[in-house]
Amino acid sequence: MAKIYLIDVTNRDGVQTARLGLSKLEKTMINMYLNEMGVFQSEFGFPTTRHEQYYLQANLELAAMGVLKPIRLAGWIRAMVADVERAFKLVPKIKHLNLSVSTSDQMIQGKFQGARSREDVVSMMVDAVEAARGHGAESIGVNAEDASRTRMDFLVRFASAAKEHGADRFRYCDTLGYDNPFTIYESVKTLAENVGMAIELHCHGDLGMAVANSLAGAKGAIDGGQDAHINTTVNGIGERAGNADLVATALAITKSKAFAAKYQLEKPINLTKAWKISRFASYAFEVPIPINQPGVGANAFAHSSGIHADGVLKDPENYELYNFNEVGRGEPELVETGRAICSGEYGGISGFKHIMGKMAITFDDAAQAEEVLELARYANVEAQKPLIEDELLFIAKYPEIARKLLTLVPLE
Ligand SMILES: [Zn+2]
C-alpha cells in the first residue's frame, strides 16, 4: 500500500511570504525541530540565492554530521538549466532538488507573454531534470505551478516527460488554492493512474481548504497506486492565505474519521513536538498563533460553557478529540516577571555569561566565551529580537556551523 510523506516547506514558501521572514539561524532551528518530529523532508531554501548559500551549506554539513538526520534537505529552484548550474555552483553538495515551472495556459500566456509555448515549457523542464541528474542529484521533484488550472491532458504529458527523463516525484501545485477536495481527488487520481509516479500535494488556503485538499489529494494519489507527499508549513504560514498547517495536517491524517484505516503516514510524526515548533515559528515570524488554531491554539482545549465544562470534566472524550499531552502541551512554563537579561547585537560578556549560566552552560576559558558571544551578536543582527535558549545552545554546541550559516557576503 502506498504511503503519505510530509514535506515541510516553511523554509521556502513560508519565508517568501510578504511581510514575513526568518533569520538563517531561525531557518536552521526549524530544520532541527522538523527532524525531531520525524518529518520526511524540509524544503530548506533557495540554492540559487547568494545569501542562502552558507546557510544551505552549513545545514548540509549538519546532515553529514548526523545532526540533521534522517530528515532530507531539498532545495527549490526554477526548472531551468541555468538555475541548476548555479545551484550546484553555490551549493555543490546539494543532493535533492525541486524544479518548478508554470504549466497553466493562464500563466504560460500571462507570465511568459508569448515567449514560451507549452512545448517549450516541457523541453525546458526536461533539460533542467537532465542537468540536475548530470550533476549527481539523488532525487528530483518536478513542480507544475498552477497545476489546478492546467489542462489535464497537458499535465499528464508534462509529468510523463518528467518521469521519462528521471524525475522521482511530481508536485501538483494548487498555487491559488482553487481546488476543492472533490476536484483535487479526481485530478490527482487521474495523474497517479496515467503517469505512475509519486505525487506531491502543494495546497494553499485562499478558500480555506488547504488541509482538506491535501488529504483528498493524498487519497487520490494512493487510490491511484502512488505514494503521496503532502507539503506543509508550520502554523500554515505561506504565500497570501498560507499553506496546509503541519500540525493540523498530521492531526487530520491520524485522527479524522476513518482516514488512517487506509491512508497512513510512512512513519509516525512525533506530535508531542507540535507545541514547541509552533511556538518557535510564531516567535520567529512574529505572528501570533490564532486562538482557535487546531492543537496549539490557546482555546484548543479550553471550555467554559456549563454543558461543555461539565462534560469534559466527567470524561474528556465528551468534548475533546485528542488529549493535550499528544501535542506536547500540559507542561508548566516558567515566565520571568521581574528583571530580564536578554541577548542582543550589542551585548557584552557579563550579561551573556549570566544568560548562559542560567542554562547551566559554562565555558572552558574567556576566549571561548567571547567567541560564542560574538556569534550570538551576529545572530541577533539577523533576528532583531532576543535569541531563545535553543538558539543559544545551538551556537554554543556548533560554533563553526553557526559561523558559517551567519556568513553573508554581498559583494561578488
Ligand atoms: Zn506555494
The 10s digit of each residue's pLDDT in 366-408 is 999 999 999 999 999 999 999 999 999 999 999 999 999 999 9
pLDDT value, residue 113: 87
**243 Cα–ligand 1 center, Å:** 7
End-to-end CA distance of the chain: 50
**136 Cα–ligand 1 center, Å:** 26
Mean pLDDT of the chain: 96
**176 Cα–ligand 1 center, Å:** 8
**204 Cα–ligand 1 center, Å:** 6
**13 Cα–ligand 1 center, Å:** 5
**145 Cα–ligand 1 center, Å:** 9
**397 Cα–ligand 1 center, Å:** 34
pLDDT value, residue 409: 86
**203 Cα–ligand 1 center, Å:** 7
**109 Cα–ligand 1 center, Å:** 20
pLDDT value, residue 111: 87
pLDDT band at 74 (very low <50, low <70, confident <90, very high): very high
pLDDT value, residue 391: 97
pLDDT > 80? residue 305: yes
**371 Cα–ligand 1 center, Å:** 39
Q: Give the three cell numbers for residue 304.
A: 467554559
**pLDDT tens figures, 171-193:** 999 999 999 999 999 999 999 99
Name the pairing type of β-strands 41-45 and 96-102.
unpaired
**pLDDT tens figures, 9-26:** 999 999 999 999 999 999
**316 Cα–ligand 1 center, Å:** 37
Mean pLDDT throughout 319-341?
93
* Torsion 243-246-248-250 (CA) sign: positive
**pLDDT tens figures, 234-265:** 999 999 999 999 999 999 999 999 999 999 99
**24 Cα–ligand 1 center, Å:** 20
**134 Cα–ligand 1 center, Å:** 27
**201 Cα–ligand 1 center, Å:** 10
pLDDT band at 132 (very low <50, low <70, confident <90, very high): very high
pLDDT > 80? residue 412: no
Q: How many CB atoms lie within 10 A of CB 173?
A: 22
Nearest Cα to 2, choosing from 209, 193, 228, 195? 228
pLDDT value, residue 348: 92
pLDDT value, residue 343: 92
Please give the model's pTM, rounded to 2 decimal places: 0.97
**17 Cα–ligand 1 center, Å:** 9
**58 Cα–ligand 1 center, Å:** 25
pLDDT value, residue 114: 80
Longest dimension (CA), the chain: 67
Adjacent-strand bridge partners of 6:
230
**100 Cα–ligand 1 center, Å:** 11
pLDDT band at 112 (very low <50, low <70, confident <90, very high): confident
352 Cα distance to chain centroid: 32
All residues with CB under 5 Å from ion ligand 1: 13
